[in-house]
Amino acid sequence: MSTRSSRWTKYRPVIALSILSMLVCGLAYPLLITGIAQAALPYQADGSQARLGGRAVGSYYIDNGFTLPGFFHGRNETNPLTASASGVDPDITVAEALSQVPRISNATGIARSSLVALVTSHEHWTLWVTGTPYVNVLELNLALIAAYPSSYPGYA
């Protein structure tokens, strides 16, 4: 009996602190952060969802998987050798976007110059100063639908 209680005295800090640290770091902390984030920043906390005609159509940060000829396409569908690290990269370079302009123009009848202007006005730079200029594919296509609703019947 006495050895059992002395053993418990010896191991109690280790066992009790293991459980307690799990409850604090593994449950209390992430749940508290979740609560604050959901209350104060619900849009970001739920994945920065894009909306079209009132319904959620995806996240601005995740490739939306466009395949129709009338839309700009992401880089993740075509060929695994050109794939991004995440496989859901939502962006393409401006050069890649411009190379798709003729196809989109042919499919929708929108003038090439207008499409080029749209791409340019949605250009992002890494930290505004460096890297290869790029566009967010979902943002660009939603702008396309908004600017030319008659070319995209049934979407807006």
Partner 1 sequence: MIDAIQSLIVVAILASTLISGSLLAPYVVRVLTGTPTRLDRLLDPFESAVYRLIGADPKMTMGWREYLFAVIFLNVAQMAIAFAILVGQGVLPLNPQGFPGLSWDLAFNTVVSFGTNTNLQHYAGETALSYFSQMTAIQFLQFTSAATGVCVMVAMVRGLRPGSAHLGNFYVDFVRVLTRILLPLCAVAALVLVALGVPQTIGGYVTVKTVEGATQELLVGPVASLVSIMQIGTNGGGYFGANSAYPFQNPTPVTDVLEIYLMLLLPTTLIFTFGELIGKKKETRPILIGSYGLLAIDLAVAFLGSIPAVGPGIETRFGGFFSTLWTVITTASTTGSLNASLAGINPLGILSAYMGMLVQATPGGIGVGVMYMLMYVVITVFVVGLMTGRTPEYLGAKITARDVKLVMVAFLVHPIAILVPTLAAFATKAVDAIPGFSSLPTSVAFTQVLYEFTSSAANNGSDFLGAAANTPFFNFATAVVMFVGRFVPIAILLALAGSMIGRKRVAEQSLRTDGAAFSFVLIGSILLLVVLTFLPFLILGPLLAYFQGLVNFVG
Contact assessment for residue 67 and residue 75, using Cβ atoms and an 8 Å cutoff: no
- Scanning residues 35 to 94, which ones bind partner 1 (CB under 8 A)? 36-38, 40-41, 44-49, 52, 55-59, 61-62, 64-68, 71, 75, 81-93
> Which of the residues 8 through 37 are near partner 1 (CB under 8 A)?
9, 11-22, 24-27, 29-34, 36-37
Q: Which of 58, 75, 52, 70 is nearest to 142 (CA)?
A: 52
> What would the DSSP string read from start to end of 69-111?
TTS---SSSS-GGG--SSS---EEEHHHHHHTHHHHHHHH---
C-beta of 61 vs 114, nearer to partner 1: 61
**Least distance in angstroms from the C-beta of 121 to partner 1:** 18
Question: By CB under 8 A, what part of segment 96-115 binds partner 1?
Answer: none
Closest of 135, 146, 67 to residue 97, by C-alpha? 135
**H or E stretch including 141?**
helix 137-147
Residue (23 or 117) nearer to partner 1, CB: 23
CB of 131 to partner 1, least distance (A): 4
- Do residues 115 and 101 lie in contact, with contact meaning Cβ atoms separated by under 8 Å? yes
Query: Considering CB under 8 A, how many residues would be counted as binding partner 1?
Result: 75
CB of 77 to partner 1, least distance (A): 11
